Amino acid sequence: MFALSLKYLWGIYYDRQADPTSDKPLPPGNMGWPLLGETVHFVIKGCKFYTEKMVKYGKIYKTHIMGKPSIRVMAAENVKKILIGENVLVQTSWPTTLRKLFVRDRSLSAQTGDDHRTRKVTISKVLGPENLSYMVPEFQKVIRECIENWCNQDQVFGSFICRQMTYRLTNEVIVGVDINDTQSIQILPYFETMIDNAFSIPIKCPGLAFKQAVHAKDKIIVAIKELIAQSNNNSSSDVNCVLDVLRNLRDADSLTDDDMVDLLLELMFAGHHTTASVCCSLLLHLGQSPEVLEKIREELLENEILDPTANLTFEQINKLPYIDNVFKEILLVKPPVGGAFRKALKTFEVGGYQIPKDWTVIYSIRETHNISPMFENPHKFNPERWNGERLKSADLRFHYIPFGLGARSCPGEQFAKLTVKIFLVEMARRCNWKLHNKNPDIDLLPSPYPKDKLPVSFTKLEIK
């Protein structure tokens, strides 16, 4: 009875945090238990927590997770205000666990205002089309080697092989080093441990999830420092890696060595984990929909690049409309990031409710896609939907946000797009694959991956 009384008083306390200058109420919701809020429920249930809340409370609701009073916002008409209100209504903010693991003080995601804008522009040049276009041969080489290796094994796990492949590619773009499979196998389990325990209670006690995540992060930092030492900075005049840019910033006294490591950790995590999620989702959905794979092959044949020995160019890759449809579709049905965190800089109103100053705002990407009237049956993998003029209009802008929008949009969008499209081309012209479980359960947090790791068998394709 005493515990229930404390819970009731906890809820009353936050109800009284409503800004009296606003005539709008707080959103409906539950603030959970004192201090813990609903964090334990969130950690146990994962994305089911969000789904159940949406069904019960609607498109905007309040909760208390990861140590912060929070309001989750979904649907285009609501997230629009968050996305266009960057640095005016909201500012980037991260839960304690994520901040201590991934988002250090000098990482890109932690920067705000002019500091973020300047740093993002600098890094985006390296991750932009002009620089990436020179990396197509190296991307092809890595992806071809990976596929050849998969075809020589009886069975592999899709979630692991996609992480291994994208980790190699990420190292090439970010550090300028092409690591071998042995090196990636040594470091990837630490990334997996850190990621799997990212949404945990931030208490560093032996045996607890957060302690394991911190230990894994320390191992990764050691590996990053070794990669920096391994990089000889001998890139050609046409190609730069992110490390080159960071070295220049360090030499200009705007970065320390530790700052540089923090940035590399953030970019390597974001670059390989989310892109691998997209590739793994494609393995699943193309395995379920062989007719889509055949249409990809037809497009390659029409463009005279079905020959697996043919080298690709950046221009060719970006003149494949059906592959572009497949790329957009997988980001609709399985966005690699489900949402993003912000902090309210001042009290403002969304959807008839107030969001008080200093509260956390979580805008949803996944649910915004799922409930948008722009998409018929958004859970069904259907690349043909993108042929319609309706989905090419400006009206789509806030309904489809896999990379976010505006000032805080993902700087690695072009890297992900190039990686996934080359992956699609090489898979279509080099192999077939069989899913051992065509309908696996999916873990959606922090990124979509099959719970059974997606066991799959590859066979080499002989195209005549």
Asked whether 344 and 356 are in contact (CB, 8 A), the reply is yes
CA–CA distances in Å: residue 168 to residues 101, 174, 233: 21, 10, 17
431 has binding-site annotation: no
d(CA 391, CA 49): 30
3-class secondary structure, 442: strand
d(CA 53, CA 72): 9
Taking 3-state DSSP, the helix, strand and coil percentages for the chain, each rounded to the nearest 5, stand at: 55, 10, 35
Q: Order the strands of the 339-344 sheet from edge to edge.
A: 60-65, 68-73, 360-364, 339-344, 90-92
d(CA 103, CA 368): 25
Q: Is 339 exposed, middle or buried (0-12, 13-18, 19+ CB in 10 A)?
A: buried
Hey, what are 174's tokens?
């970010």
β-pair partners for 348: 355
Hey, what are 98's tokens?
């994520």
Tell me the binding residues: 410
Tell me the binding residues for heme: 410
